[in-house]
Amino acid sequence: MIRIVILGAGTVATHLCKAFLASDTCEVIQVYSRKKISLKSVPAYLNTTTSLSKIKEADLYIIAIPDDAIIVFSETLPFKNKLVAHTSGSVAMKKLSSNNRKAVFYPLQTFSKDREVNFSQIPICIEAESSSDLTLLKKLGKAISEKVSVINSSEREKLHLAAVFVNNFVNHMYTIGSEILSEENISFDLLKPLIAETAKKIETLSPKKAQTGPAKRNDIKTIEKQMRLLKSSTNNDLYNKLTKAIFETHGKKL
Amino acid sequence: MIRIVILGAGTVATHLCKAFLASDTCEVIQVYSRKKISLKSVPAYLNTTTSLSKIKEADLYIIAIPDDAIIVFSETLPFKNKLVAHTSGSVAMKKLSSNNRKAVFYPLQTFSKDREVNFSQIPICIEAESSSDLTLLKKLGKAISEKVSVINSSEREKLHLAAVFVNNFVNHMYTIGSEILSEENISFDLLKPLIAETAKKIETLSPKKAQTGPAKRNDIKTIEKQMRLLKSSTNNDLYNKLTKAIFETHGKKL
């Protein structure tokens, strides 16, 4: 049984906590949070603390707090030579405090407070300094997911960069689509089947092969007409840049 | 029984044809295509022709050919006062030849040759010049889909513009993600659960509320680090522009 202390009580911490609780391989022995109020989202029967000095002895400490706070926080932990993993896509493992054994346990998914998560299909990217620590993380990863990959910090930063494109930037495209429709009082629901199919297509087709649309087929007339329709200069500029990028990728020129 | 002639034998024509064949409300009496070879994708028991002069008498003629060929093609039809609908998101209804009664039957979805389509969930956007023609199109739309909307040409061009963002541009974001990973020999499969969840999220959450990531949380350190990682100047520029657009939408400044 892997004994875990979770450091943090936000969205990722809560989802991980639930997934660990559902597994026979590990045990969440404590959840730490700086603020008492944050611990409200943690199941009531779990041991919690807001005091660093009261953190229990465990096999693994998982830091699940905002990316920009991880490094400094890792230096404040009042113990040594323990296995400490963060859960971030963007922070290099070596940046963790050298007081403890460094590791990463990064679930590659976007988490929302109120959405249930099926961890079994979420890739868990792990990294550690020693093979025995890596073995423990692998065991823990497999306890909650079918997809565990050993990914080093340099690969992970590329993964996280790619994730920003396919998640954050994609979501902004949805926002622009919704803005264009709301100007005309057209329901965003009309776009939902298209959004679902666009995402489903690349499960079996490479995104390069799945590309369609005016830019792909070099339909200058439609491109010019659509750019005239865009009132927002920011969106107009984005349309132009994205169209040129598609031209470039698919070997066409303006 | 609505008697239909389909003009065209490409991907949209073939998918529509199949959907009509599965319905009791309509009958595909003929498929026309300029080239004999294109008619290979049409079920063998259907009447087909490559000659405009041999097109049969029908209640509705559906033009399903590339956008930029629709207007000219509609002028070449050798009959008058018939109901002729195109299936395009970007062509205004009034641009069809005045020889016939103009209409639009636009299925708002991305179609691929080898992917099965469930029409019942695809929004069908219809437009016609008279209420009786609109009634016929509505009946036909309901024969294959649960979602039929009356959408005029000005609304339809906005819908099509929004579709370019949420489909074509989103797919290009997937392409960039896949390129970033292939440089490091990391499998694109790792991103697929994230892509699926990003699309699923907006079924219940507005895209503006669903936004996450370094740009949303004003994490300048991560943004600068990620921009340094992007080797392609096109992708670097896109990252910068998309980040600024998210700042703008969510009330932050660089």
Report yes or no: B248 at the A interface, CB cutoff 8 Å: yes
Picking from B198, B224, B240 by the largest number of A CB atoms within 10 A of its own CB, the best residue to mutate is B198
Q: Considering only alpha carbons, which residue of chain A is nearest residue B242? A: A169
In this predicted model, what pLDDT tens digit does every residue of B134-193 receive, in sequence order? 999 999 999 999 999 999 999 999 999 999 999 999 999 999 999 999 999 999 999 999
- Give the model's confidence band at B11: pLDDT under 50 very low, under 70 low, under 90 confident, else very high: very high
Q: % helix / strand / coil in chain B, to the nearest 5?
A: 50, 15, 35
* Closest CB from A147, A163, A198 relative to B171: A198
- Give the model's confidence band at B39: pLDDT under 50 very low, under 70 low, under 90 confident, else very high: confident
Asked whether the ipTM of the predicted complex exceeds the cut of 0.85, the reply is yes
Q: Is the pLDDT of residue B44 over 90?
A: no
**C-alpha distances out from residue A127 to A107, A118, A130, A161, B159, Å:** 12, 22, 9, 18, 45
B:222-241 residues touching chain A, CB 8 A cutoff: 222, 225-226, 229-230, 234-235, 237-239, 241
Cβ contact B193–A122 (<8 Å): yes
> Would you list the DSSP string of B183-196?
TTT--GGGGHHHHH
Mean pLDDT for B81-98 is 97
B:152-191 residues touching chain A, CB 8 A cutoff: 154-155, 157-178, 180-181, 183-184, 186, 188, 190-191
Average per-residue pLDDT in chain B?
Answer: 95
What pLDDT is stored for residue A253 in this prediction?
55
Cβ contact B219–A193 (<8 Å): no
Report yes or no: B109 at the A interface, CB cutoff 8 Å: yes
Q: Which residues of A touch B12 (CB under 8 A)?
A: none
- Give the model's confidence band at B252: pLDDT under 50 very low, under 70 low, under 90 confident, else very high: low
What pLDDT is stored for residue B75 in this prediction?
98
Q: Is the pLDDT of residue B76 over 80?
A: yes
Report yes or no: A78 at the B interface, CB cutoff 8 Å: no
* Closest CB from A125, A168, A226 relative to B212: A168
> How many Cβ contacts (< 8 angstroms) between chains A and B?
300
B:23-42 residues touching chain A, CB 8 A cutoff: none
Q: Vertex A120, ends A114 and A122: CA angle to 5°?
A: 70
Q: Vertex B199, ends B195 and B203: CA angle to 5°?
A: 160
Helix (H) or strand (E) holding A75: helix A70-76
Look at residues A94, A86, A68 and name the one whose alpha carbon lies nearest to residue A126.
A86
**B77: region left, alpha or beta (phi > 0 left; psi from -120 to 50 alpha):** beta
Cβ contact B168–A90 (<8 Å): no
In this predicted model, what pLDDT tens digit does every residue of B204-228 receive, in sequence order? 999 999 999 999 989 898 999 999 9
pLDDT < 70 positions in chain A: 252-254
Helix axis angle for A233-249 and B170-182, nearest 10°, is 50
Length of chain B: 254
* Closest CB from A229, A235, A242 relative to B157: A229
Residue with the larger pLDDT of the pair B25 and B117: B25
What pLDDT is stored for residue A113 in this prediction?
83
Look at residues A110, A169, A181 and name the one whose alpha carbon lies nearest to residue B246.
A169
Q: Considering only alpha carbons, which residue of chain B is nearest residue A223? A: B161
CA of A130, closest CA in chain B: separation in Å?
22
What pLDDT is stored for residue B223 in this prediction?
95
Are B31 and B14 a contacting pair, CB within 8 Å?
A: no
What pLDDT is stored for residue A32 in this prediction?
97
Q: Is A62 helix (H, G, I), strand (E, B) or coil?
A: strand
